């Protein structure tokens, strides 16, 4: 599959690397040249751009992407702007990271394909390891 990962902070970078390691083609996008520089050799393509700008997003090969993932974790406003632009550009499938339940509610109203809150998922997974007595696996 071909993925577009927008937002290459801690979460987005790890996601993009893992998708690549699993044999997928990944295009990474971030407004920070530092973030792109850290991962550019691991991905098929990387772009430094303001993804909140719909004109900038048009330069991406959206028609060739199976799934666009908005992994922005610093700004709800930026995340929502990118999702809205991807919807307007008719991206095939859109997944987005929500920063909290309010952000999740807004994304649900935008009717995207998948919404996730990675911190909540990680906390439940971590707690489950303690419950099952396998906390050594977490280190």
Domain 2-138, CATH: 3.40.50.720
Report residue 93's pLDDT band, with 50, 70 and 90 as the boundaries: very high
What DSSP string describes 95-109? EEE-SSHHHHHHHHH
Report residue 135's pLDDT band, with 50, 70 and 90 as the boundaries: low
Whether pTM exceeds 0.85: yes
pLDDT, tens digit, 9 for 90 and up, residues 24-57: 999 999 999 999 999 999 999 999 999 999 999 9
Place of tokens 């290459």: 8
Contacts of 113 (CB under 8 A, 6+ apart): 67, 93, 94, 95
Report residue 129's pLDDT band, with 50, 70 and 90 as the boundaries: confident
Sorted by where each begins, the domain ranges of the chain are 2-138
């Amino acid at each position: 599959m071909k993925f577009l990962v927008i937002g290459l902070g801690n979460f987005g970078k790890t996601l993009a690397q893992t998708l690549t390691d699993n044999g997928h083609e990944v295009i990474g996008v971030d407004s920070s040249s530092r973030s792109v520089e850290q991962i550019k050799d691991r991905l098929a393509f990387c772009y430094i751009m303001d993804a909140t700008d719909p004109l900038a997003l048009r330069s991406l090969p959206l028609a060739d992407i199976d799934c666009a993932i908005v992994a922005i974790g610093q700004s709800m406003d930026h995340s929502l702007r990118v999702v809205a632009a991807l919807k307007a550009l008719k991206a095939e499938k859109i997944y987005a990271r929500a920063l909290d339940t309010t952000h999740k509610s807004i994304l649900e109203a935008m009717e995207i394909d998948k919404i996730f809150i990675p911190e909540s998922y990680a906390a439940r997974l971590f707690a489950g390891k303690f419950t099952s007595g396998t906390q050594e696996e977490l280190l």
